[in-house]
Amino acid sequence: MRRSTARPSDAPRANSSTTDAGPTTVEDYIRTCSATNDLSAIAALASSRGGLLDDRVRGVAWPKLLGSDALHADAAKVMPDWRALPKHKDEDQVRLDVDRSFIYYPKNESEQQLDRRKGDLSDVITELLRRHPTLCYFQGFHDIVQVILLVLGKDLAVDAVTHLSLLRIRDFMLPSLSPSLAHLALLPAILYSVDTKLCQHLSGTQPFFALAATLTLYAHEIEDYGAIARLFDFFLAEDAVVSVYVFATIILSRRRELFEIPADEPEMLHFTLSKLPKSLDVENMIARAKTLVLEHPPERLPFRAWNKISAYSVLKTTRGLSKPQTLIEGEAFFAKQVTQLDRAQLRQKIRQAIWRYRKPAGGVGLALLIGLVSIWIQKGGVDGTHFNAFRRIWAVFRLLGP
């Protein structure tokens, strides 16, 4: 594996610890992760108590867990220089977010060192977006990337972040927020399965309070580098859905505090839940999340919550994988999700049209129009030809309106 020009030891490290069985030192872990391509063995280490111990271990394990190409720098030689590619529409926002990065870690670095890190962060994100222009940047993405960058260094971070974006957090980089919100819809179902009374107490507030944490894999919320690096061990080793289960464990751990707030004060409940506790026992949180997934798997959640998740969502495409997916697969899933969103948007426009243009004279024709558009959506997808035809037919029906 090609190593980064920025050594993992240059970044701040999480505290080392030992395990009761198997490899017990950083050196043991490095040898184990380097010598095997058995992802289940590496994932087991990452999910076990203490995780991967140190950034030197993560530098070996994370690329393997992500399925990223360690020879990215060599492969880049045959690709166009990303700087010569067209500018991505979101680069101005990237620049603003990068300017306020590296606030909490690394510590004790000079302004010059931090500026260099910010430059690397900007390059990694911008290269990703220019090489994959259909991806949509979201605020907080830089928080995720800075953790990857600190662990892997710039060279390996580019490919790792590409795999992470297309295969693990793809839902967050779509042109609509609705797939991200669909993740949150699992929270009430998890809570209902575990603690019905608490779920009912929170029923007056929507689970949007979990958006900032889950959207950024908690990197925007957790200020301690060791804690967030440890949590990333867990996230990269498990199915994407565990991020939602982690938030459920946080809610359950605050049960007493939440019941002190009246149920008829949803704004206060939302405010409280949107702020994570300053002190989090990450190891206990991970252990409880693992137990929750085993005892209440997403496929068995009430309210048909899992059935409402897109088949192309990362929540389902990462479920139970035995080997990493390829970027080509990730791009294909992304395209199918975009098509689904386009269809949903068109259906919404049709529903709005039914309400606005409901004169009896146009009723039969409108029903016919809706039927034709539905057939197009189901059989032929949504493309420019269909939309143009829809506009021409719709122009006639508008004449029937008030």
pLDDT, tens digit, 9 for 90 and up, residues 291-323: 999 999 999 999 999 999 999 999 999 998 777
- Indicate the pLDDT class of residue 77, thresholds 50, 70 and 90: low
- pLDDT score of 325 more than 60: yes
**Does residue 384 carry a pLDDT above 60?**
no
User: What is the chain's length?
Assistant: 402
- State the pLDDT confidence band at 372, using cuts at 50, 70 and 90: low
Query: Of the ranges 24-38, 240-254, 327-341, 369-383, which one carries the lowest mean pLDDT score?
Result: 369-383
What is residue 386's predicted lDDT score, i.e. its pLDDT? 55
Contact 237, 207 (CB under 8 A): no
In the predicted structure, residue 274 carries a pLDDT above the cut 80: yes
What is the per-residue pLDDT for 17?
A: 42
How far from each other are the two terminal CA atoms of the chain, in whole angstroms? 68
pLDDT of the residue at 54: 92
Which pLDDT belongs to residue 211? 97
What is the reported pLDDT for 368? Answer: 60
DSSP 378: I
pLDDT of residue 279: 87
Taking 90 as the threshold, does the pLDDT of residue 346 lie above it? no
Identify whether the C-beta of residue 397 lies closer than 8 Å to the C-beta of residue 365.
Answer: yes
Q: Which amino acid is at 126?
A: T
User: Would you state the pLDDT for residue 352?
Assistant: 79
How would residue 83 be classed by pLDDT, with cut points 50, 70 and 90?
very high
The per-residue pLDDT for range 120-130, each reduced to its tens digit, is 999 999 999 99
Residue 250 has pLDDT above 50, yes or no: yes
Distance of alpha carbon 29 from the chain centroid: 27
Type of residue numbered 194: V
Whole-number pLDDT of residue 34: 85
Nearest Cα neighbor of 369 from 344, 339, 383, 349 is 349
- Over range 61-87, report the average pLDDT: 78
Q: What is the pLDDT of residue 13?
A: 43
Model pLDDT, residue 8: 37
pLDDT at residue 18 greater than cutoff 70: no
Say whether 302 sits in a helix, a strand or coil.
coil
